Amino acid sequence: MRTALIAPCGMNCGICMAYLREKNHCPGCGSKGWLHPECLIRTCADMNGTFCFSCSGFPCRRLKHLDGRYRTKYCMSMIGTLDSIRAHGIRKFVAGGITRWTSTHCGGMINIHRHCYSSCDRPA
């Protein structure tokens, strides 16, 4: 897992279904030159840095809405992720994420959207 895979909103692209798929692979929101045209958070004109927590309006309405969906459907909080990155740094967050999101059985990353591991399709 690389630090560039953490999106401005706090999403870990390394566990995203679009990043993990082989066909029409997404390079991740933090990739240079990549800009998902439908993402209003990624294209936000108020963002002053790499992550949403650098904005004076953090957390904004859009991020709260996205965070609520992900907490309900996928048991992860983007606002919590961003708070952790702000408090401990991106490298420490990514190091902890390797343990949290990697299967001890197959070594694959969890596909957060499918609730299974990418290498073996076992339930997460």
| Residue 29: φ, ψ to 5° | -65, -30
What local confidence, expressed as pLDDT, does residue 35 receive? 60
Q: Which two tokens stand for residue 75?
A: 């048991």
Per-residue pLDDT of the chain (124 residues; tens, 9 = 90+): 678 888 899 998 888 888 888 888 888 886 766 666 677 777 787 877 889 999 889 999 999 999 999 999 998 899 999 999 999 999 888 888 777 777 777 777 788 888 777 777 777 7
- CA 113 to chain centroid: 11
Query: Which residues lie across from 20 on neighbouring strands?
Result: none
User: Which pTM value belongs to this model?
Assistant: 0.81
Residues 77 and 103: their CA atoms lie apart, in Å, by: 20
Residues 83 and 10: their CA atoms lie apart, in Å, by: 9
Burial (0-12, 13-18, 19+ Cβ within 10 Å), 93: buried
- CA 119 to chain centroid: 19
| Residue 71: φ, ψ to 5° | -65, -40
